[in-house]
Structures are given as structure tokens and as C-alpha cells.
Structure 1
Amino acid sequence: MILANEWLEAEINPKGAELKHLRSKTHNHEYLWHADSRYWAKTSPVLFPIVGALKGGTYQYGGNTYQLPRHGFARDEVFEVQQLSGAEAVFTLRDTDETHNRYPFAFRLALRYQLDGRALRCTYEVHNPDDVPLLFSIGGHPAFATPAGAGGLSYTDYYLEFPEDEALHCHALEDNLISPEIRTITLKNHRLPLRYDLFYGDALVLKTLKSSEISLRNHVNDRAVRFRFAGFPYFGIWAAKGADFVCLEPWCGIADAVGHNQRLEDKEGIQRLDGGITWTRSWEVHVE
């Protein structure tokens, strides 16, 4: 499914309602990772109804035990194309008998993509059609290309800019779970230089980020991405080992802590949505 305006062209796959391409029409530049399966075969999956991993791969709710894979199941489901126009598309996923085996809630999840000038906005809309509260987490996982070898660039020419932060306080992951250990990375001029080994220990998990906008830039040319994500209390930064991309991940939810009791209602960051209510959050990509 293709969206286009004067400046941008975006392609979305109904499987996972996943953004696959974001190209500049003025200089033919691709801003997204090209999904090389040798490293990581996705580009921008939606994380729902959980973010991260569950302790033991299971959770408890209503006296029953359920299993969910890391980041949930929505990224592997085929969404219904609800709306498609020149610069806007809406993809919808609803609960089924099969999802109830893993997640005992009624829900309607919509991903709305909109082009606006040189920006793409992705809005998550979660609706509870039931009378009982809906418990969920949700997050984004877009991977932005950092093409080494193009125009003389190397991975270390790229950096992330955090306008409101002078240091990053990163929670360590232990078997994909949040450990009590915190590592502090001091930023110089609000910048985090990218290096492959930065992610050898998995994602940088942030709970106290002050910035609600992060820029991906480089020292060689003017190509840049400004990523805005107001309203997401958690954030992850990740890349596959040795791959030329960086994921900027806004989360409403987080992986289980090492000592979590596995009860869904006690999960950190869980969202509680009453019946008949629709919950929304958006992130935006502004390209230069």
C-alpha cells in the first residue's frame, strides 16, 4: 500500500501494518532500513499487546496463565485495510477466538499513517469494545538506515541528538528482562555517537528520558531524521549486531522486571482502558 505527497512516498504492508519504506521524492533517499534478513528482517513492527519479554514467557490474569512471545503478536497478524487515500491509510486488527487463547481481551487496534509535508505520522488507536477493562502495552520499533559506504559515510559518522538530556540512564537487560543495574552514558553536546558495540549487550532501555524528540544526523551531509514521540514514558534504542541501522522505539509499556510476579495487572507500564474508550498516541518522522 503506497502513500505519497509532493515530498514523500511511504509503503505499508498489511501484515503487521508495518511501514516498509519512507523515501524522499526530491532526492530519492530511503530513510528506513532495508530489512536484510542476515541481520534483522523487519523495518517497523508494532509491539502489542506487550512490549518486550515476559518473565518465563507467560503472564497470569483472572486465575489463568497465558503465553505471549516477546513484543506480542500484532506484528505477525494481517491487518484489515480500513482506509486508503493519497496521503493517509488506516489498518485495523481485532480480537479473534485465536487471540483469546493468548490474550483474553476484546480489542480493536488501528494504525493510522498520515503524510504531512516532509513528515510521516503514525498514530496508534486502541479501542475497548467490552465492558471489562482492557490491559495492554504498545510501542513502536522503526529502524532508520545508517548506510555505511554511501557518500563516504561509516557507521561512526552518525549520531543521535537529545536536546533535553545530558546523560542517558540505561537499564540493563538480563535474559530480556529489566534488571536493577543502571548504566549511565554521558552525552557530549547532547549527542550520542553511534558504534556497533553500543548494542552488543542488547537495547538501551530508558525510563527517565527528558527529550520528546531525537534527531539522527551525521557528520558528512545534511541528511537527517527528527523523531518526535511525546506521550511515551519509555524508550528503547537498538540495532542488530553489525547492522547499518538504528531503531528508535517509543513505548507505552516495558519488559518484565527480573523480580516481577507475572500478574498482568501489576506489570510496569501496563495501560488500563475502560469499556467504550479509545486510547491514542502518535510518533512522527520529519525528514531532512
Structure 2
Amino acid sequence: MFILQNDMLRITVKEKGAELVSLYHKKDAIEYIWSGNPAFWAKHSPVLFPIVGALKNDTYYYNNKLYHLSRHGFARDRQFTLSAATASELCFTLESDAGTLQQFPFEFKLDMIYRLQQNGLTVMYRVTNTGSGNMYFSVGGHPAFSVPFVEGTDYNDYYLEFNEPELAGRWPISANGLIENDSAPLLVNTQKLPLRKELFYRDALVFKNLRSRKVRLLSNRHNKGIAFDFAGFPYLGIWAAKDADFVCIEPWCGIADPVTSNQQLPDKEGINRLAPQAVFERSWGVGFEI
């Protein structure tokens, strides 16, 4: 485990999966990241790479060859290396090897960069194509925030507030983890989504191309909360394990296969194409000045 801290915040990141396991606000004495209770969900903030969500039959084709990847890809289960550290930043690196090439036929370097500001955290994904041909990939975040995070409050006291009024349906997820053909109404000219555990009984809320680039996690009972910035991510997932005391805010550059997928990787919805030696960067951030 590696710790990075300043006067206001302390974060803890582990090398396996380069996963953020703690985001502690010292002044407020609040732990904002889910504990990882295995009775509900044993993770905290997994890194999603080189796919986001599920593939049809866990399978894709590239250059007429079949490959298998499980949901959200392999990065969350791989050992990263701490490649750089300063007083305000930690960088963890994963590089392609013989094992990854069996599942994902591209040479790459993935840097996960955690940067502390005075009262906020920025998490950057830096993907470098180290191979000689185009690389096709997805990448995303899956941070789980504890709810409630103030003693004496209840899950139903919390809500998400988008920074723009939204007219957006959720894209339902099939029993096989695939995106259904049609959206279902959810946000109707509103900025507010009250949290209820039954919202997630049918898996995640999946949104495409929201107007908002920020969402706040707030309570009706107190003035503590977070502001979450996901600019640059065209998809957003909101999820919690059944009846668990957390909510995931998931910024994605990529999405699960649709039920009608042809399973060809270059045709996949939301796929990113990266030229040889090129670099792709995206960041999300958590702030506390709300």
C-alpha cells in the first residue's frame, strides 16, 4: 500500500490493480471510499482496461482471430509497479507482456496517476500505444463512495445532482451484461437523482452523452459531499451492489457490447483507436468545496 497526503486529504493506493482503496478527509474525519466488504462487493475503485463492461460471450475478434476477455478487462487484477512518486503524485504502471498479449494483441503502457490538490483528487489514465499498429481499447473508472458517510444519516437521505438539467434514459443491461437496444426513461428535465437501493436491482444505470460534465453526491441532512468531474468521458455508469451502502460513479471511455454486437473489436461502440506511439489521456476528479 502507498499513502499520499496533505493537510486536508489522505489517499491509499495498492499496487494490485493500481486501485484507490481510501480517500480520507482529515478535517471532516470522513472516509469517502467504500470499505470493500466482501459480503457485498470486495473492491473499492477498480481500473477498467482494456474493455469496459462485458463482451458478448466474453469474446471479440480482431484480424480474424478470436480472443476472450472477462468483464471490465484484466488491469484490475494485474500487479502494477510504482514508477514515480512526488509529494503530491503517485504513478503506477502496467505494461503489456506475454500474458496480456494472449487476451489483447496490442503492446501498451498504462499509467495510473493519482494527484492530490489542496482539497481534491485527480485520477488520470494515460494509455500509450507502444506497438507498431493501431491499438483498439476502452478505459474507465469505477470508484465506490460510501453512503451514508455521516453517522446518523440513511442511504435515502442522499442524492446525485447533475450540473445541467438532463433529459436522459438509462440503457438497460441484459442478463448477460450487454446493452439493450432501447433506453428506458429516467431523468426527465431534472438535475436530481435521489438514491434508493432498488435503483440498482437491475444492474447499473448506464447513460450515454449526458449534457452534464459534473455530478455532486449530496445529502438532504447535512452539508458534506463530493463534486465529481467526468469531463472527457462520453459514458457514465451509476451502480451499487444489491442493498450495499455505497454508490459507484463510473466515468467510461467505452461501454459494454450491445445485444446486437458483431463482436469485431474495431466496430465496437465507444472503442478508442490509438496510433503507434501515440498517447491517450483522460482524468476524473473529486473535490470537496461544494
* Fold match by TM threshold 0.5: yes
> Could you say which residue in structure 1 is the equivalent of 2:158?
158
The 8 Å contact of residues 169 and 208 in structure 1, kept in 2 or not, is answered as no
For 1:109 and 1:191, the matched residues in 2 are separated by 35
Listed as ranges, the matches of 1:267-282 within 5 Å are 267-282=268-283
Listed as ranges, the matches of 1:206-285 within 5 Å are 206-285=207-286
The 8 Å contact of residues 51 and 254 in structure 2, kept in 1 or not, is answered as yes
Listed as ranges, the matches of 1:197-208 within 5 Å are 197-208=198-209
For 2:178 and 2:187, the matched residues in 1 are separated by 24
Q: CA deviation at 1:17?
A: 0.4
Taking structure 1 as the reference length, the TM-score comes to 0.97
DSSP 3-state at the match of 2:206 = strand
Q: CA deviation at 1:129?
A: 1.2
For 1:177 and 1:245, the matched residues in 2 are separated by 23
Identify if the C-alpha distance between structure 1 residues 186 and 104 changes in structure 2 by more than 3 Å, giving closer, same or farther. closer
The one-letter code sitting in structure 2 at the alignment partner of 1:172 is P
> Could you say which residue in structure 1 is the equivalent of 2:114?
113
Describe the superposition over 1:222-255 as per-residue Cα deviations: whole angstroms up to 9, x where unpaired: 1101000111001100000000110000000000
Q: CA deviation at 1:187?
A: 5.2
Describe the superposition over 1:60-92 as per-residue Cα deviations: whole angstroms up to 9, x where unpaired: 001110000000000000101001222210000
DSSP 3-state at the match of 1:75 = helix
The 8 Å contact of residues 18 and 44 in structure 1, kept in 2 or not, is answered as yes
The 8 Å contact of residues 167 and 190 in structure 2, kept in 1 or not, is answered as no
DSSP 3-state at the match of 2:94 = strand
The one-letter code sitting in structure 2 at the alignment partner of 1:167 is L
Q: Percent identity?
A: 47
For 1:165 and 1:17, the matched residues in 2 are separated by 34
Describe the superposition over 1:162-200 as per-residue Cα deviations: whole angstroms up to 9, x where unpaired: 121333311011120011121111357511000010000
For structure 1, which runs of at least 5 residues remain unmatched after alignment?
Answer: none
The 8 Å contact of residues 8 and 23 in structure 1, kept in 2 or not, is answered as yes
DSSP 3-state at the match of 1:186 = strand
Identify if the C-alpha distance between structure 1 residues 166 and 278 changes in structure 2 by more than 3 Å, giving closer, same or farther. closer
Taking structure 2 as the reference length, the TM-score comes to 0.96
Listed as ranges, the matches of 1:9-88 within 5 Å are 9-88=10-89
For 2:236 and 2:146, the matched residues in 1 are separated by 19
For 1:128 and 1:11, the matched residues in 2 are separated by 28
For 1:23 and 1:199, the matched residues in 2 are separated by 26
Does residue 142 in structure 1 map to residue 143 in structure 2? yes
The 8 Å contact of residues 165 and 209 in structure 1, kept in 2 or not, is answered as no
Worse-superposed segment, 108-117 or 166-175: 166-175
Q: CA RMSD in A?
A: 1.2
The 8 Å contact of residues 148 and 158 in structure 2, kept in 1 or not, is answered as no
DSSP 3-state at the match of 1:198 = helix
DSSP 3-state at the match of 2:171 = strand
Worse-superposed segment, 9-18 or 177-186: 177-186
User: Structure 1 segments of 4 or more deviating over 3 A?
Assistant: 186-189
The 8 Å contact of residues 82 and 90 in structure 1, kept in 2 or not, is answered as yes
Does residue 4 in structure 1 map to residue 8 in structure 2? no
For structure 2, which runs of at least 5 residues remain unmatched after alignment?
Answer: none
The one-letter code sitting in structure 1 at the alignment partner of 2:121 is L
For 2:165 and 2:36, the matched residues in 1 are separated by 30
The one-letter code sitting in structure 2 at the alignment partner of 1:159 is Y
User: How many residues get paired?
Assistant: 287
Describe the superposition over 1:201-224 as per-residue Cα deviations: whole angstroms up to 9, x where unpaired: 000010131100000000111110
Does residue 181 in structure 1 map to residue 182 in structure 2? yes
The one-letter code sitting in structure 1 at the alignment partner of 2:228 is F
For 1:147 and 1:233, the matched residues in 2 are separated by 28
